[in-house]
Structure 1
């Protein structure tokens, strides 16, 4: 890729460009997609902020569309300088945009080497319209290469496309990563015809397929079969904990879900999970109880996330959150140190609440 730096400001099409502007478009597109991906992982995600990033991202992608093939030196140089998820997104997006099979094959190999399940490559597949990637996805989804099958079914997941009879094979794929994404897709598509395969997958030897089989069964209305696995993953505290918590609450009758969370509240290790779950019940009367939890450093981030889920309008109010927990006292400083953790300011949230929702206060959920 180093040779890309030395190419002139005209590519194969001899389209004149302003190199500095095209470079800026490439760098900004990579940065903005990475920012978008990170925002999507937030709990809960700020959809308004993501929408704003999307508009800026599309503006920069338009600049690269205009530049055409002459943008490739800058796209390649961006990945060479910083081979992360945003730059991989850009590389793959450009290859698809230009219908450049050689570059797309390179992007696939770059994704294979990535340490994050090729998030940037999968993001590029999701960003393009299905017709732009349909031929490649059809080839990948039945390929002997497990990584290509993973890409193919991930693209279907990103676009909500049903691979029909192929999915019944993919949920039993030899590769655990393919099985996991396929089981998730089966749930997203509400493939009730695969219910037996989903139940069988609850006994899978790998955690990810087991979890997504449980999640999918909940989507199909069979959460009674999946509750134990979902609760285990939620309490485990891994990257799927919040998704598992939401599914576990959905899987059980409300009375049972509240009783389970009441049990979680009794242990310091699991109490923050119960505080977070309070925001998933849809009961706004727990607001004052949440404010009380915000005064405890161990519970504050979960209480803040629950607040934003129940009251999205709180994002627009100034002063309800701080990125400097040390402002809130020694107990917060002892727990968070110098880390920039977004936590609610209980006193400010209380004032905001009292001015908008006067009335009786509720106890614990």
Structure 2
């Protein structure tokens, strides 16, 4: 009977480990949606926390399952789980181990940063204090990233970190300076607009924009937005925020005239907060090249529309032959223009 009970407990702990890794990875992916559905994220958070509670109860005996989970699938969710448990148990050996695992990751150790974000600031404070002042650039990056997640001011240390020898640390520190609106660092931010690293220049512009220095920030933000890289959407949102409404609309009008930048203009229109453009968005939804951007703009302007799961589809027979041909029969979730039009009528838009 005892051995059978142990097998049942082991199975439960293994399931908690696997599901915790899965739910955090799902959460991280959902938060990258454009725009994210925060109600769905909240539901995932509850399921994640329930599994973490199970691992808390298991304590150190959960380690074999956590290690096995990471070895079987060394991705962001599994790195989150490893880091979360190491911090939860204040296990210095495991913390050192997960730092090395994070160092080897190819996604800026987002799972480990997520573990730092999930814990309360008081729990991770000793680690962060050590890391922001260490000669190890990766640990400095982790420390500043944790400060961003918890909006903790690194005080005088931040003045050094925005000039750090490591570009990733500089970029992350500039982002923190912007979030905290550290006006005393404006000169460093302006100087960073000429940095050799493009990510450093972008986050310097973003931070300056947070201070209201849109004249300095706008050229770099617009360049990054049009460039279409991983920071493009953040840059677009900042550029919209930085510029008077009339000037933003003029800029987007110019973008709309080029096939390469037209999707950016359609997406940016949803950031203006003007719900009267709905019928214009429906028109853009009929064009395969603009439909995804129009759908994202629609969801941002009308979050209540998420309750109707018929408004978007991945089926070629629903969206039409032009969409199937454009996307080579592998369609993302796109708005169905006629259904959105009918929805608008029903809700009085």
TM-score, length-scaled by structure 1: 0.93
**Corresponding residue of 2:80:** 89
Is residue 328 from structure 1 mapped to residue 301 from structure 2 by the alignment?
no
How many Å apart are 1:74 and its aligned residue?
A: 0.3
Give the structure 1 partner of residue 260 of structure 2: 269
Per-residue CA distance 1:208-230 (angstroms, 9 max, x = gap): 01000000111111111110000
Q: 1:166 to 1:337 in 2, by over 3 A?
A: same
Q: Within 2, Cα distance between the matches of 1:177 and 1:139?
A: 18
- Tell me what 1:147 maps to: 138
By how many angstroms is 1:340 displaced?
A: 4.4
**Larger CA deviation: 273-282 vs 17-26:** 17-26
2:286 & 2:249 partners in 1: Cα distance? 22
Say whether 1:106 aligns with 2:97. Answer: yes
Query: Is 1:325–1:343's contact at 8 Å kept on the other side of the alignment?
Result: no
RMSD: 1.5
Please list, as runs of the form range in 1=range in 2, the aligned pairs for 1:162-311 lying within 5 A after superposition: 162-311=153-302
Quick one: distance in 2 between partners of 1:348 and 1:354? 10
Hey, what does 2:332 align to over in structure 1?
Answer: 341
The equivalent of 2:348 in structure 1 is 357
Which runs of structure 1 show a deviation greater than 6 angstroms over 4 or more consecutive aligned residues?
none
Q: Report if the CA contact (8 A) 1:198-1:213 is conserved.
A: yes
SS at match of 2:146: helix
Measure how far apart 1:9 and its partner are: 11
Higher helix share: 2
Q: 1:216 to 1:9 in 2, by over 3 A?
A: farther
Q: Deviations over 1:293-348 (max 9, x none)?
A: 00000000000000010010010013100123453111100111232401000000
Query: Distance between the aligned counterparts of 1:28 and 1:320, measured in 2?
Result: 30
Distance in 2 between residues matched to 1:324 and 1:355, nearest whole Å: 24
> 1:17 Cα deviation (Å)?
7.5
In 2, the alpha carbon distance for the partners of 1:128 and 1:236 equals 35
Contact 2:13 2:55 in 1 (8 A): yes
Within 1, Cα distance between the matches of 2:297 and 2:159?
37
Deviations 1:127-149 (A, max 9, x none): 00011111011000000010000
Distance in 2 of aligned mates of 1:357 and 1:301: 24
Structure 1: gaps of 5 or more residues = 1-7, 359-365
Deviations 1:55-94 (A, max 9, x none): 0000000000000000000000000000000000000000
User: Secondary structure at 1:44's aligned position in 2?
Assistant: coil
Secondary structure at the aligned position of 1:125 is classed as helix
Query: When the two structures are superposed, what TM-score results if normalisation uses the length of structure 2?
Result: 0.97
Secondary structure, in 3 states, of the residue corresponding to 2:288?
A: coil
The aligned residue for residue 38 of structure 2 is 47
